[in-house]
Each structure stands twice: as C-alpha cells, then as structure tokens.
Amino acid sequence: MMAKVWFITGASSGFGAELAKAIIEKGDKLAATFRKEEQANEFSQQHGGKGIGVVLDVTQTEKVPAALQQTIEKFGRIDVLVNNAGYGTLGAIEEFSMEEIRAQMETNFFGAIAMTKAALPIMRQQGSGHIVQISSQAGFRAGAGFGLYNASKFALEGFSEALALEVAPFGIKVTIVEPGPFRTEFLAGSMKAAAQKIEAYQSSPVGNTYKYVNDMNGKQEGDPVKAAKAIVDYVYSENKALRLPLGKAPVQAIRMKLKQVEEDLNANEAIAVSTVFVD
C-alpha cells in the first residue's frame, strides 16, 4: 500500500503530537503545523525529510493556502488533512464576552473550514483525499459549562456532515472524530475559562462542571497513543462510517443524546404534524 501524505494542524501537543508520531512510525510523510517557528524547525530537523514543520496559526486564514502549497512542493500531494488545532473553553454562556466567543469560533470553526476549503481543490484534482475533523463528544451532546465549546464543535460537525455528501463524488472521504476525555493537556494548558465569573452560576450545573474539570485532569480514561493509532488505522481501513467516537464516555454520551432526541420527538410529534396544511 502506498504511503500517504498527511497535513495536521496543531501538532505541538496533545492529539496532534501523538498523531504526528503515529504517522511517522507508520512510514507515512507528514506536514505538521506549529505556531512557533522554533518548534516547526525542530520538527523538520528531527524527521529528516519524512516530516516537515510548517509555521501556521489557523486563525490567520489568509496564510492557509501557502502552508498547503509548501506541502505540495515538498511531497507532491496531500492525501489526508487533519483539522486538529483547537482549544476548550469553560464557563456559563452568560460569563463569556463576545470577544471570547468569537476567538473560540475563529480557531475551532473558521480555522478548520478555511483549511478544508483550501485543501478541497487539491484533493479534487487528485481524485482522492480524506478530511479528518477532530471534534469531540461535545460536538454531539452539549453540557452546562461547555456551551461555547459545544457551539464551535457543533458547527464543525454540521458543515462536515454536509461536506461528506458534497465531496463523495470526487473520491474524497470525511471522518468526524469524537473523542471523550483523554489524558492530554486539554484540561490544563489549552482550556480557557471565562474571564468573568458570575457568582450565581457557582451553585448551578456550571459549578459542577468547573469541579469536574479540576478533579478529572490527569485521570481521564483515554490513552492518546491508542487514539492516534486508531485514527491512522481508520484512515487506512475501508470503513465508511462518518463518525468515529474514541473512548467509552462518548459512546455513552452519544447514546444518551440519541435517546433524549427520540423522547423529544415522540413527545411533540402530534404538535409537529398539526402545523401542516390539510388539503
């Protein structure tokens, strides 16, 4: 089987870093993005021609096409795009400023959509490609205290669901990866709490979420090394399922959401059908 060329955003830590290792171990080629030039240079030196570090902040969407072009010049093609760059937010919706809300969407949603849009002409021309969106169980089921993060990942999943239908005729696959809690820096370094705290929410479900995040850090069920290998294996498999949950928690969370939606549907079906014209 021919080695693939991968492009991963946000490779400095967490899933991105583990995925980079798994790809190199597989014998594939890789362009990985870093926001700092020294990190990108170090990555290129480490991997001697098999992996290149690319300097890119996905919120600077005007720089995205050049980053992909750099990869084409080096490796000749891009087989797999992994939109991994992102961060989590914690707080009640009311606590977040509009600036904080826009910043979350810039990275988790607009960054991913800009990368995807720029990669599509390349993949269409090749007649093949695979876009892997790193979402979250929070991209399918919302929870108090994660509302802003939920919104960014719900948006990612919405466009990816439509995208999968749009690009299938061109031989391009889309996979939405939905990890549960994994032992990465996600709950520590890359989680941003709302700058403003509103006392009333401390005794609400949001307060419980703050406590959960604090208690869970370092004790998450998920092994990032196993997750990285699972993603690489999935890309190489013939599996056509759109969603790939990772961990026990997302399987449970997604099932609970599906059950809840079905209950809502059954509760309101009579009202729903009562609103149509009767010929």
What local confidence, expressed as pLDDT, does residue 49 receive?
84
Q: Provide the residue type at 99 as one letter.
A: E
CA 261 centroid distance within chain? 23
Residue 255 tokens, joined? 């099932």
All domains of the chain in start order, with CATH: 5-248 (3.40.50.720)
The pLDDT score that the predictor gives to residue 215 is 73
Whole-number Å distance between alpha carbons of 32 and 232: 15
Query: CA angle 59-60-65, nearest 5°?
Result: 115
What per-residue confidence (pLDDT) applies to 184? Answer: 60
**Full-model pTM:** 0.94
Q: Residue 213's pLDDT is what?
A: 80
Positions marked active-site: 135, 149, 153
Q: Residue 178 and residue 244: Cα distance in Å, rounded?
A: 6
Residues 187, 216: contact at Cβ < 8 Å? yes
pLDDT at 189: 59
**pLDDT number for residue 186:** 53
Low-confidence residues of the chain, pLDDT below 70? 1, 182-190, 217-218
Beta carbons within 10 angstroms of residue 164's beta carbon: 18
Q: How far is CA 36 from CA 63, 89, 139, 186, 219, in A?
A: 14, 22, 28, 19, 29
Question: At residue 149, what is the residue type?
Answer: Y
